[in-house]
Amino acid sequence: MSQHYSIALDGPSGAGKSTIAKTIAKELNYIYLDTGAMYRAFGLYAIENGIDFTCEKYIQERDRATRELLNSFNLDIRYEQGEQKVIVNGKDCTGLIRTPEVSIAASKVAVLPAVRKRMVELQRSIAARTNVVMDGRDIGTYVLPNAQIKIFITASSVARAKRRFQELQAKGMKDITFEQVHSDMQFRDRNDSSRAFAPLSRANDATLLDTTNLDLQESIETVRRIIMRKLKLSQGGI
């Protein structure tokens, strides 16, 4: 049986994981799986079905109603010209999941073990059939504890918020302030790190990379070097 390689890139939002993962996956001809997009897709689905994530009252009722929505939620991950598409109940949601509102909803639904179990099943099934670069929060610790390569990518919260703010500005979302982006990011850092089930954390065997003072090209170059060194060490190459 041929063995598939898994590269796990974890870390908080805005650390540069997805751009790095996408670039490296293309270079290695691996599948890139953005697991955050899966939680975002379910967060969007919950919003569309009337769940209000802005209200902090009646959280137990909200969580129960959210869990029930899993019964009618069918997620499909497809690739078109190498780009990941997120399909929910037959509808392509890829372009709709990048708003600040969906970011917060994703972080909130990701706390629920039932939601995580559903996503993790799909993530593991993809990794079982192909070489993959997977980015997320719990890939090295929980989803793929046996991944051949694990890197934990982080940066200061100000540096990460600056990057996210610039991205949103470039997409035309001009009415959001830097302070709002920073505060949303700090909320998600806390929420993602403090949940009981599979929280954001660095695996003991993950290499730590802090990109606060690196630009994107330098970050990619550093990750490429780490990966190449490890791939050479494990079984003589790719």
Based on the shown chain and the rule CB under 6 A, indicate whether residue 160 belongs to the binding site for ligand DC: no
- Rounded CA separation 85/90 (Å): 11
Task: Please identify, among the stretches 22-30, 67-75, 104-112, 205-213, the one whose residues bind ligand DC according to the rule CB under 6 A.
Answer: 104-112
Which of the ranges 36-44, 45-53, 79-87, 88-96 carries the binding residues for ligand DC, by CB under 6 A? 36-44
* Alpha-helical segments (H) within the chain: 17-28, 35-48, 59-69, 100-109, 113-129, 157-170, 178-194, 216-233
Distance between CA 121 and CA 98 in Å, rounded? Answer: 23
106: contact with ligand DC by CB under 6 A: yes
* Residue (of 76, 65, 53, 44) closest to 114 by Cα position: 65
Question: Nearer to ligand DC by C-beta: 15 or 227?
Answer: 15
The answer to whether 105 contacts ligand DC (rule: CB under 6 A) is no
- Min. distance of Cβ 115 from ligand DC in angstroms? 9
Q: How far apart are alpha carbons 66 and 68 in whole angstroms?
A: 5
The reply to whether 189 sits near ligand DC by the rule CB under 6 A is no
Q: Binding ligand DC by CB under 6 A: which of 6, 13, 207, 219?
A: 13
Q: Which residues contact 120 (CB under 8 A, 6 or more apart)?
A: 142, 143, 198
Interacting residue ranges for ligand DC, rule: CB under 6 A: 13, 35-36, 39-40, 103, 106-107, 110, 136-138, 188, 192
